[in-house]
Amino acid sequence: MIDLYTWTTPNGRKVSIMLEELGVPYSTHSIDISKGEQFAPEFLKIAPNNRIPAIMDHETGISLMETGAIMLYLAEKYGRFLPEGDDKWSAIEWLMWQMGGVGPMFGQVHHFVKYNRGQSSYAEERYSNEAKRLYGVLNTRLKDRIFIAGAERGEYSITDMATWPWVSRFEWQEIDLNDYPNVKDWYVRIAERPAVQRGYQVPKYITKVPMP
């Protein structure tokens, strides 16, 4: 059994979506970051960086924080959603792109544009422009492709699961997905997956998956 410690953020939803896609048993523990529960001493033992999500795998005794590490661990343990051969490195390459670019930059847009508009016009412009650039990169990558990683048309992988929850907040980023038609097609395709719909609602029902 896997314990998942999470909240309704893009990073949290990455792992709940993957667990739903795997169809393995897990239990959910809500860590309400709006109430500072991520700083509780009990959670600190599992996630030394005081960030969600984190997992505890009781079968192996392994606890992990950081979504990239968690997703790679689960993919290796269950032998799914990480391509083999050269495509494996394509998946890891684009997973790192998400973790180093999409997550941090989109997160800054949320902070400065959605929650603190007017505090810094420089920051609003800087991060909004970078978000648009990243959408452009993804739009180019998805030209004539179904999924992000792998050769030719691609293979559904942890890379898609890691990127999609951040794109699901396109409204927060003031992004019109019609400007990025390849991203829009990919977004809708993944949003229609039942496991994605279930994983999106963990740890509690907040809203329906937004559709452009």
Residues 50-90 have pLDDT tens digits of: 999 999 999 999 999 999 999 999 999 999 999 988 899 99
Which single residue is written with the structure tokens 């800087």?
126
Domain 2-80 coded CATH 1.10.287.890: no
Bridge partners, residue 202, by sequence: none
- Across the 212 residues of the chain, what is the mean pLDDT of every consecutive 10-residue run? 96 98 96 94 94 97 97 98 92 97 98 96 97 98 92 85 98 97 97 96 66 58
Burial 6-27 (b: 16+ CB within 10 A, else e): bbbbbbbbbbbbbbbbbeeebe
Which residue intervals of the chain bear CATH 1.20.1050.10?
86-193
pLDDT at 209: 54
Domain 86-193 coded CATH 1.20.1050.10: yes
Which residue intervals of the chain bear CATH 3.40.30.10?
2-80
Say which amino acid occupies 96.
M
Among 142, 141, 134, CA closest to 166? 134
